[in-house]
């Protein structure tokens, strides 16, 4: 059956509003006006328990949604911010437990038919799902603002009562559909969608032309921006499309509040979303709060740094330093490209060899309202092609009588030429031909004669992947076994992974099959040379027993990728201090080293390489590590063992910074972190499960004053792998810590230890920028606590930021100044703020921290050499400070960079 027609046993919820006059209608039918909606109970009463019917009472000829399942909140969601969302357990999670990004198993999606239930509809969530309680649904507000003559604020109640409703079938497709194929060739910045990142539903709401007609966009307006209620690390999710498209009824854009006749499911935008037919799903903003008419495209972070196809020669590493490239609208994705997939035979399906026919089946879609006009199938890798039959269930809705109402919205599609839904294709092929073929490949063509390309266009985000879809046929005696290109997420399987593991070159133009004269070495990786971390002249074999004997401070040996390194020569020169190497002694440090260190650090490794580990190290089990973390030890941190604490809460302290509160295993435990040192935090990438490790200095003290807890101030960076992962972490989740690490420790009364050597300091100059205040603050707090002592050092803090709202720990710093003045001495603590982008009201210093500032506020080094400069901030600021202080006569050993 090419499409499913069924009658749902669920409320119709038809409000039967009158028809609009904004689109051609051959004959109008009068309906009684919608009763006023006072509250949710009345809204529920108006939901009719009747099936959709033609205007003459006959059964509809177009497909209706399948009956949805009764779902519940799944156990894995109970400890996430999405604990209020009921979900179908069949959905495949692509990014771990949270956030929720899923697709259906391909066969089940196809079997459900033309329309997809909310149960199997794909979901792309960047963060937590906003919780909207049913009684408050009708009071949900959104605005139309910007370059409009009449700004509008509407509730959902007013949208339903005062505007004409429409119902259209629309297929939504994630721009990452089929991305797993690109990730196998070379890892992109996106997680691994399979071929089921698309779904179709009936959407009911108000068309954008009708809404914009009331607001009346002004001359010069060219774009319409949308913003949702989902608060994310880089602000609320938002994007834009061209205003001319939004004003065109042929484009079918709408603000929807129903999906398949029901109120929107939370994962799909409850209570209100945008639906942009024919364009990538990322433009259809969920949980809609704002519509802004503008002269230029959206400047929202997610519009600029998501949903783009950058030139194929740009690598993920290079893309991090190309802000202007990301902002180039030529690379923004709007209309979908033409694409298709094979659904039957399914992956790993087996077919008995015989004389009959096998029906190949699949889907196809095009973008921008275009129609798929041709589906072609080849069994000989493109030498010859066969035409498949194509079915367009969307066209059945065009046959509905004039005045048809479906789920409370007019079903008026007869006049519209645009196609916004997937179609299905079939082809009967003799099994004997399949037996002789090595593979099945397909391609689609749209009505602009654009055809799917033979080869992949790899790009840094892995989007819009649409080369020919290839299914390999394995002839296994009396059975044929079919193998799809990939399986979604981390699910193993697929001919692409198999070919790559076997050393085949997927990008050789022959799908990894070796050709005459071809080197068997894989060539699909980027043309970048891998940095060797071994000394090729070293052939020594080192047993585990010998390795353990050299795990002390005198000869700290450690292992990376099975190779043994002696860190003795680098104890003094290591930027993180000798403790970083000593703590790794006697351990396999592969994960930590590779997660933290730069390419430059890797290039230095051959100088410390002494041999290969010949026998494996014994490892501590996860249960033993957990037991150690939860032990009765009075100190939480351990320099050699990762220990777990639970995320208790997140407290925003600025527009892009939060304090993360963690609960230690025991209420009486202290962190054990010396003043001036740091701890390591380890998380797992939700998609790849690779370790993400970074060093932080917590706000909480390592003493008994803050036993049982850790507080860490974190600035959330838009491209920060750790900070974004940490911000997305649900409360109650475990996080791993290790430490202490660092080459500096303040012991009190002006005594310090730097790289194991003691020194006395009478003055600290503390230079910081942004979140670089945190290690500075720890030392400042300890020094100011003893301000009434003669030995206490004087502290001057030079804190640079962009704007006043970026100043972190401002209240605490002011308190330090007041405390530093205790005993009549105002010289113990002084804080100077400088802003590079101040407001007109800012009365403090303006500009960037430079030598002029340092000369005025600090001056030349004292003759006694009893002062130190502590520096922490962005790389550019640190380099500028180094150059300035060295130029003023300060010695390199008096400058400490955290």
Which positions are catalytic? Answer: 174, 306-307
- With 0-12 CB in 10 A as exposed, 13-18 as middle and 19+ as buried, what is 184? buried
Per DSSP, the residues of 232-296 read ETTEEEEEEEEHHHHH-GGG--EEEEEETTEEPPGGGTTT-EEE-TTBBGGGS-SSEEEEEEESS
Handedness of CA 745, 747, 753, 754 (dihedral sign): positive
- Alpha helices, DSSP H only, in 292-406? 301-304, 316-319, 323-327, 394-398
CA-to-CA distance for 411 and 409, rounded, in angstroms? 6
What is the distance between the alpha carbons of residues 416 and 403, in angstroms, rounded to a whole number?
15
CA-CA distance, 311 to 803, in Å (whole number)? 35
Strand order in the sheet with 92-93: 92-93, 101-103, 123-124
Is omega for the bond preceding 345 within 30 degrees of 0, making it cis?
yes
DSSP class of 593: H
Tokens representing residue 808 in the block: 């972190």
Q: Is 152 exposed, middle or buried (0-12, 13-18, 19+ CB in 10 A)?
A: middle
Neighbours of 661 (CB within 10 A): 19
**Inter-residue contact 660 to 726 (CB < 8 Å):** yes
Burial per residue of 631-653, b for 16 or more beta-carbon CB atoms within 10 angstroms, e otherwise? eebeebbbbebbbbbebeeeeee
HSE-up (13 A, CA, CB side) for residue 787: 23
Q: Are 667 and 704 in contact (CB under 8 A)?
A: no
Q: 530-534 long-range CB contacts below 8 Å, 24 or more apart?
A: 531/599, 531/602, 531/603, 532/606, 533/560, 533/561, 533/563, 533/602, 533/603, 533/605, 533/606, 533/609, 534/563, 534/605, 534/606, 534/609
Buried b (16+ CB within 10 A) or exposed e, 91-118: bbbbbbebbbbbbbbbebbbebbbbbbb
Residue 102, beta-bridge partner list: 93, 123
- Rounded Cα–Cα distance for residues 681 and 722 (Å): 9
Closest among 750, 830, 815 to 786, alpha carbons compared: 750
CB of 333 closer than 8 Å to CB of 241: no
343 is in an annotated binding site: no
- The DSSP output letter for 608 is G
Binding site for Mo-molybdopterin, by residue number, is 174
Binding site, by residue number, is 174
């Amino acid at each position: 059956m090419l499409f499913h027609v069924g009658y749902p046993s669920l409320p119709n919820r038809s409000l039967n509003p009158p028809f609009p006059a904004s689109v051609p209608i051959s004959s109008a039918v009068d309906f009684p006006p919608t009763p006023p909606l006072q509250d949710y109970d009345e809204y529920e009463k108006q939901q009719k328990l009747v099936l959709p019917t033609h205007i003459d009472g006959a059964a509809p000829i177009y497909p209706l949604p399948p009956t949805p399942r009764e779902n519940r909140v799944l156990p894995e969601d109970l400890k996430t911010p999405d604990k209020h969302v009921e979900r179908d357990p069949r959905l495949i999670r692509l990014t771990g437990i949270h956030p929720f990004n899923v697709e259906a198993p391909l066969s089940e999606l196809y079997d459900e038919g033309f329309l997809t239930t909310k149960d199997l509809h794909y979901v792309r969530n960047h963060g937590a799902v906003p919780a909207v309680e049913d009684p408050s649904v009708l009071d949900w507000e959104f605005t139309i603002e910007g370059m409009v003559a009449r700004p509008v604020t509407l509730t959902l109640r007013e949208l339903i009562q005062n505007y004409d409703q429409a119902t259209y079938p629309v297929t939504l497709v994630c721009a990452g559909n089929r991305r797993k194929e690109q990730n196998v060739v070379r890892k992109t910045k996106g997680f691994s969608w399979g071929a089921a990142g698309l779904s179709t539903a009936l959407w009911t709401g108000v068309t954008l032309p009708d809404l914009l007609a009331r607001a009346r966009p002004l001359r010069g307006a060219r774009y319409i921006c949308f913003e949702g209620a989902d608060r994310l690390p880089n602000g609320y999710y938002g994007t834009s499309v061209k205003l001319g498209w939004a004003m065109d009824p042929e484009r079918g854009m709408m603000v929807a509040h129903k999906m398949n006749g029901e109120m929107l499911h939370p994962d799909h935008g409850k209570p209100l979303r945008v639906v942009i037919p024919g364009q990538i799903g990322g433009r259809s903003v969920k949980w809609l709060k704002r519509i802004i008419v503008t002269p230029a495209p959206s400047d929202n972070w997610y519009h600029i740094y998501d949903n783009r196809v950058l030139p194929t020669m740009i690598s993920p590493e290079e893309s991090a330093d190309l802000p202007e490239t990301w902002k180039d609208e030529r690379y923004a994705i709007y209309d979908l490209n033409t694409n298709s997939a094979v659904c039957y035979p399914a992956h790993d399906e087996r077919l008995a060899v015989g004389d009959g026919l096998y029906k190949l089946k699949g889907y196809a879609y095009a973008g921008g309202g275009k129609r798929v006009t041709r589906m072609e199938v080849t069994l000989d890798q493109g030498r010859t092609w066969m035409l498949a039959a194509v079915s367009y269930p969307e066209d059945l809705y065009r046959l509905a009588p004039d005045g048809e109402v479906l789920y409370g919205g007019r079903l008026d599609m007869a006049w519209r030429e645009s196609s916004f839904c997937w179609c299905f294709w079939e082809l009967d092929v003799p099994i004997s031909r399949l037996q002789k073929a090595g593979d099945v490949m397909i391609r689609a063509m749209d009505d602009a004669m654009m055809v799917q390309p033979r080869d992949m266009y790899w790009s840094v985000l892995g989007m819009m992947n649409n080369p020919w879809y290839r299914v390999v046929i394995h002839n296994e005696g009396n059975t044929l076994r079919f193998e799809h290109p990939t399986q979604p997420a981390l699910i193993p399987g697929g001919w692409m992974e198999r070919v790559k593991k076997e050393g085949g070159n997927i990008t050789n133009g022959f799908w990894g099959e070796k050709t005459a004269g071809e080197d068997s070495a894989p060539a699909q990786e980027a043309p970048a040379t891998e940095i060797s971390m071994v000394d090729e002249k070293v052939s020594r074999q080192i047993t585990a027993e010998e390795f353990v004997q050299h795990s002390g401070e005198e000869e700290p040996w450690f292992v990376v990728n099975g190779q043994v390194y002696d860190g003795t020569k680098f104890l003094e020169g290591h930027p993180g201090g000798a403790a970083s190497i000593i703590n790794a002694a006697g351990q396999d440090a592969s994960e930590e080293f590779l997660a933290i260190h730069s390419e430059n650090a890797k290039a230095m490794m051959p100088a410390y390489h002494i041999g290969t580990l010949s026998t494996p190290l014994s490892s501590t089990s996860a249960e033993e590590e957990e037991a150690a973390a939860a032990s009765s030890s009075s100190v939480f941190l351990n320099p050699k063992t990762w220990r777990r604490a639970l995320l208790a809460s997140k407290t925003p302290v600025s527009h892009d910074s939060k304090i993360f509160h963690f609960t230690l295993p025991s209420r009486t435990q202290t962190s054990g972190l010396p003043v001036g040192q740091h701890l390591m935090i380890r998380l797992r990438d939700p998609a790849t499960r690779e370790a993400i490790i970074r060093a932080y200095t917590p706000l909480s003290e390592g003493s008994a004053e803050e036993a049982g807890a850790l507080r860490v101030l974190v600035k959330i960076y838009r491209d920060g792998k750790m900070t974004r992962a940490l911000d997305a972490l649900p409360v109650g989740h475990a996080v791993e810590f290790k430490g202490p690490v660092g080459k500096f420790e303040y012991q009190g009364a002006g005594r310090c230890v730097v790289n194991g050597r003691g020194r006395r300091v009478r003055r600290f100059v503390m230079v910081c920028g942004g979140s670089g205040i945190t290690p500075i603050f720890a030392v400042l707090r300890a020094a100011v606590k003893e301000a009434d002592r003669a030995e206490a050092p004087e502290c001057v803090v030079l804190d640079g930021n962009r704007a006043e709202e970026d100043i972190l720990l401002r209240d605490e710093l002011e308190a330090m100044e007041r405390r530093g003045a205790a005993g009549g001495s105002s010289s113990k603590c002084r804080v100077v703020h400088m802003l590079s982008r101040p407001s007109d009201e800012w009365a403090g210093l303006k500009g960037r921290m430079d030598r002029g500032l340092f000369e005025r506020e600090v001056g030349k080094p004292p003759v006694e050499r009893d002062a130190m400069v502590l520096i922490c901030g962005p790389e550019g600021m640190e380099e500028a400070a180094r150059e300035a202080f060295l130029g003023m006569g300060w010695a390199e050993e008096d400058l400490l960079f955290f």
